[in-house]
Amino acid sequence: MVSTALSTELQKCVRCGTCKTLCPTYHLTCNESFGARGRVVLLGELCSDKLAPNKKLAERIYSCMLCEACKGVCPTGINIPEVIYKGRALLKKSFKKGYISKKALRTAITYMNSTMPFARVFQKLFYRPFSRTFGLRYFPEISSKPFNKNIQVYKNVKKTGRIAIFAGCNVNYFYPHLGYSLSHGLLSRGYEVVVFKGEECCGAPLRSMGLEDEASDMARRNLDHFNRVRADAIISLCPTCTLVIREQYPLIVGDTISNIMDLNEFLIKFDFIHDLEAATGIVTYHDPCHLSHGLGIREQPRKILNSIKGLEYREMKHADECCGFAGLFSMQFKEMANTIGMKKIENISNTSADTVVTSCPGCIMQLESLCRKAHLRINIKHMVEVVDEAMHGH
């Protein structure tokens, strides 16, 4: 049974096409049904029973990158990414692509701490040795020690303030060194740091699979844990986590973690951008979709990079266009993801920068994978690493 609220929302579409002009999958395919407007119209037909759920319809709705480029542009006020999530929940049984990997991912996310050690063994013995032969996606090694393995409060004699970290799954399991860079930087400016073991996945991958109830359960558990933490701010190193917690939790469970902040927002607001110095080099910046389109954070990262003595900042062309990662999209729509990604690599390469900086561990994973394919030798860094290094003058 389709919700009346969704049906009413979809009926507001006047077919103006504003949303499709910003849609990367429409630009790539030049196919209306693979664009924002087409998806809204198709979901409207589904909700008014003119279309029955089917494989092709599901493919159109699941091929959305959830990049948020179309968010806020609709003159009638439709929140397009949000209706896509709701549409996926209606079509999840019709979308069979990557059935086994989706099942595995769902289990891994739901029981993260107990499944990751097994995933690590599987990755070592089977996935990595055969990934090139079978053209499988590159993944960094799963860490044997997740960042948030234990509850930890790093005390500080200076007591400038108290900051908690929402690390996110990618940092916890693939890039724990980013979490350590963050705590290192905070401690050296006198903050007490809280690393919280009770953290669960923010729920974004579950929502993207159409699993709304499961994502809501995760959200409730995170709210329960984090709203009990006393801190001046809770910093996230992943814009998807920040976006989901700040803007989607209120829609799915009616509450949020009020002081969650993206790293870039934090660094500006808490006056971290002074006395920063790095080894000489040329840097460029890639905007993660959920940071730029989703949270509107575009100026802050540039301001931070430009404040670091020794760095020359070069803007790449189309810096805010997607790198093609988009979570599960890069596994389910490999060709599209690769074409979008290779354009990004070309734009990075044209700057002749020696480092590309971004603010999202998912983008880092995608850029690492693309650079390997394109044989492009360039440093790929998260903003937290660049700032941590610059704080200590190297």
Rounded CA-CA distance 297/117 in Å is 35
164: nearest Cα among 272, 250, 268, 236: 236
CA distances, 238 to each of 88, 235, 246, 295, 361 (Å):
23, 9, 12, 12, 6
Rounded CA-CA distance 368/362 in Å is 10
**In terms of CB distance, is 66 or 387 closer to ligand SF4?**
66
Q: Are 320 and 293 in contact (CB under 8 A)?
A: yes
User: Is residue 109 within the footprint of ligand SF4 (CB under 6 A)?
Assistant: no
Measured from the CB of residue 41, what is the shortest distance to ligand SF4 in angstroms?
8
User: Is residue 291 within the footprint of ligand SF4 (CB under 6 A)?
Assistant: no
Measured from the CB of residue 50, what is the shortest distance to ligand SF4 in angstroms?
17
Tokens of 394: 């190297």
Find the part of the chain contacting ligand SF4 (CB under 6 A) among 7-15, 172-180, 255-263, 370-378.
7-15
User: Is residue 295 within the footprint of ligand SF4 (CB under 6 A)?
Assistant: no
User: Is residue 39 within the footprint of ligand SF4 (CB under 6 A)?
Assistant: yes
Measured from the CB of residue 206, what is the shortest distance to ligand SF4 in angstroms?
17
User: Is residue 381 within the footprint of ligand SF4 (CB under 6 A)?
Assistant: no
User: Is residue 88 within the footprint of ligand SF4 (CB under 6 A)?
Assistant: no
The count of residues interacting with ligand SF4 (CB under 6 A) is 29
**In terms of CB distance, is 15 or 274 closer to ligand SF4?**
15
Q: Would you call 352 exposed, middle or buried from its count of C-beta atoms within 10 A (0-12, 13-18, 19+)?
A: exposed
**In terms of CB distance, is 36 or 305 closer to ligand SF4?**
36
Q: Which of 28, 57, 58, 68 binds ligand SF4 (CB under 6 A)?
A: 68
**In terms of CB distance, is 28 or 283 closer to ligand SF4?**
28
**In terms of CB distance, is 38 or 146 closer to ligand SF4?**
38
239: nearest Cα among 323, 307, 314, 308: 323
Q: Cβ contacts of residue 344 below 8 Å, gap of 6+?
A: 286, 318, 321, 322, 323, 324, 367, 370
CA distances, 312 to each of 169, 274, 283, 354 (Å):
32, 17, 6, 10
Exposure string of 305-326, with b = 16+ CB inside 10 Å and e = fewer, is: bebbeebebeebeebbbbbbbb
Measured from the CB of residue 84, what is the shortest distance to ligand SF4 in angstroms?
6
**In terms of CB distance, is 18 or 160 closer to ligand SF4?**
18
Q: Which of 6, 42, 43, 66 binds ligand SF4 (CB under 6 A)?
A: 66
What part of residues 14-33 is at the interface with ligand SF4 (CB under 6 A)?
Answer: 14-19, 22-25
Residue with tokens 């805010």: 320
User: Is residue 36 within the footprint of ligand SF4 (CB under 6 A)?
Assistant: yes
**In terms of CB distance, is 57 or 276 closer to ligand SF4?**
57
Rounded CA-CA distance 44/49 in Å is 9
Q: Cβ contacts of residue 352 below 8 Å, gap of 6+?
A: 282, 314
3-state secondary structure of 373: helix
Q: Which of 43, 46, 47, 64 binds ligand SF4 (CB under 6 A)?
A: 64
Cα atoms in the Cβ-side hemisphere of radius 13 Å centred on 333: 23
Find the part of the chain contacting ligand SF4 (CB under 6 A) among 74-82, 136-144, 199-207, 346-354.
74-82
User: Is residue 239 within the footprint of ligand SF4 (CB under 6 A)?
Assistant: no
User: In the 8-state DSSP scheme, what is residue 78?
Assistant: -
User: Is residue 3 within the footprint of ligand SF4 (CB under 6 A)?
Assistant: no
Measured from the CB of residue 103, what is the shortest distance to ligand SF4 in angstroms?
24
User: Is residue 243 within the footprint of ligand SF4 (CB under 6 A)?
Assistant: no
Residues binding ligand SF4 (CB under 6 A): 13-19, 22-25, 36-37, 39-40, 64-70, 73-76, 78, 80-81
